[in-house]
Structure 1
Amino acid sequence: MIARWQRGMAGAGLAVAVAVAGAGCSEVKSTASGIATAAVASATAAVDRKLDDIKDGADAKDEITLGAPGKDGDGRTTVKVTAANTADSAKSFAVQVDFRDSGGNLLDTTLVTVSDVPAKGSKDGTARSNRKLSGDEVKTEVGRALRY
């Protein structure tokens, strides 16, 4: 019974990865178990949906800086996200943070919202990976960012 469930989960992970890759997300890297691949595909799809739901958002990728990645008490990768608001009124920012290995392979992605950043000011938030990321050094980058 357990072996059948594991094969089913691996197959489901592969199916999700194939579906996401077919939809334009070719960066998802296949893994032996398929479970990590499914987790990355699921996180990517969730972030894309949330960003797509933001109406009248302006590209703000150049207004975001990331600090050095670290680990929290649960062993998840974290990074400080600073949003610099260049607008004349307070704005909020939705920032997609991608976690990659040294080879550039996507390990995880998450969305952080930095709300009510004052006009011509800046404010910090923290992005946290959805799970513990193992392997070599984890690097972070801004995937997309919207000011709204």
Structure 2
Amino acid sequence: MRRTKAAALSLAATTALTLAVTGCDTVKETAGDIVSTATAAVASAAEEKMNEVKDGVNATGDVKAGPTSTDGDRTVAEITATNPKGKTADYTIMVTFRDGDGNFLDSVVLNIDGVEPGKSKTGTARSNRTLSGEPTAEIAQALRH
């Protein structure tokens, strides 16, 4: 699925760039539709990954996203899970990257495993593609299991 998603994003980005260079309004709208479709596919893939978690409990309050930074050509954010329960838990977390206007840019799923009771553990959420501007990371969903 990762290769399919990467190929779709690559094709969408290449097509959007090629079509945008022509300057035609209709072509620009088509390019925008292609990028929107690819972005929706990424979001859908993240949702599917979250749905694979069995016996997960909503734990959005246990998880915090740190500020974003750049690692190579990708946007990253440190994600911290704090386990308030009495036994070790694993976390599956959907992180959404948004632009300064709050528009959706990307979504990734991160696992932080083996968080001991009363302790915190971190992981790094890494965007699927290059994001422009100054994106922020937010916790869209978190499951403790």
Task: Give TM class, smaller chain.
Answer: 0.7 to 0.9
Superposition TM-score, scaled by structure 2 size: 0.76
Q: Deviations over 1:86-124 (max 9, x none)?
A: 111111001111000111110000000001111111100
Query: Conserved in 2, the CA contact under 8 Å of 1:31 and 1:37?
Result: no
Partner residue in 1 for 2:21: none
**CA, structure 1 residues 31+84, in 2 after alignment: closer, same or farther (shift >3 Å)?**
farther
Q: Match for 1:50: what amino acid?
A: K
How many residue pairs match? The answer is 120
Gaps of 5+ in 1: 1-8, 14-29
Pair 1:56-2:55 in alignment: yes
1:139 to 133, 136, 140: 136
Q: Which runs of 5+ in 2 are unaligned?
A: 1-10, 16-28
Question: Partners of 2:51 and 2:30 in 1: how far apart?
Answer: 28
- Equivalent residue number for residue 46 of structure 1: 45
CA root-mean-square deviation: 2.0
Alignment match, 2:112: 114
* Equivalences for residues 3-42 of structure 1 within 5 A: 32-42=31-41
Which residue matches 1:27? none
Task: Kindly report structure 1 stretches of 4+ aligned residues shifted beyond 3 Å.
Answer: 30-35
